[in-house]
């Protein structure tokens, strides 16, 4: 807690805060980091294997194999979220499953499943992007800004 908040607290509140802090369980930071690294690394390794398979067995090149690889990872993550497997993995791995593209698929699928009782339009579709909406909005906005800057630089270079 910052010093400003401590100054405004009464003596009883400060004592309670000290007691609560002393009873708070210690977080196993190293163990959590190792788990996140293992889970995220495994997801990324599976993505690399999928990309290798698409390039060697389905005649994709390095650039065109990215799309199908992402789609398969998203599909598997959404399916495992629907079946309840992804939540168990996420509980164990923490941020290791939230950072790759599978975490994005999980957030969309989870919000859809949570609101399915409200119907397909207002429930599933309406709440699908509640958690991931900010990522989509800022991703599209960032792409627009970068494309505008790139086109402006190209246009100025052509003058």
pLDDT at residue 131, rounded to an integer: 67
Output the pLDDT for position 124: 74
pLDDT at 132: 67
Sign of the torsion angle spanned by Cα atoms 102, 104, 105, 110: positive
Q: Pick the residue with more confidence: 26 or 65? A: 65
Give yes or no for residue 6 having a pLDDT over 80: no
Q: Could you tell me which residue, 133 or 143, shows the higher pLDDT? A: 143
Gap between the Cα atoms of 14 and 34, Å rounded = 35
C-beta neighbour count of 111 within 10 angstroms? 19
Tokens 């908040």, residue located: 5
The pLDDT-based confidence of 5 (bands split at 50, 70, 90) is: low
Q: What is the pLDDT of residue 54?
A: 97
Separation between Cα atoms, residue 83 and residue 70, nearest integer Å: 20
Residue in the structure block whose two tokens are 């067995």: 57
Distance of CA 24 to the CA centre of its chain: 27
**Whole-angstrom Cα distance, residue 79 to residue 109?**
8
93-134 pLDDT tens trace: 988 898 788 988 888 888 788 777 777 777 777 777 676 677
Across the range 85-94, mean pLDDT stands at 92
Q: pLDDT at position 127, please?
A: 74
Report the distance separating Cα 121 and Cα 62, nearest Å: 38
How far is residue 107's CA from residue 119's CA, in Å, rounded to a whole number?
Answer: 19
């Amino acid at each position: 807690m910052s010093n400003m908040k401590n100054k405004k607290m009464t003596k009883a509140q400060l004592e309670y805060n000290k007691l609560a802090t002393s009873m708070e369980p210690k977080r196993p930071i190293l163990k959590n980091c190792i788990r996140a690294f293992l889970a995220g690394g495994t997801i990324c390794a599976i993505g690399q294997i999928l990309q290798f398979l698409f390039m060697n067995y389905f005649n994709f090149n390095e650039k065109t194999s990215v799309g199908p690889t992402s789609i398969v990872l998203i599909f598997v993550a959404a399916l495992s979220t629907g079946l309840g497997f992804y939540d168990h993995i996420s509980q164990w791995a923490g941020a290791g499953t939230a950072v790759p593209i599978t975490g994005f698929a999980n957030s969309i699928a989870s919000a859809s499943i949570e609101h399915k009782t409200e119907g397909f339009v207002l429930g599933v579709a309406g709440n699908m992007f509640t958690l991931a909406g900010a990522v989509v909005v800022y991703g599209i906005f960032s792409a627009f800004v970068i494309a505008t800057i790139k086109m402006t630089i190209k246009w100025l270079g052509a003058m």
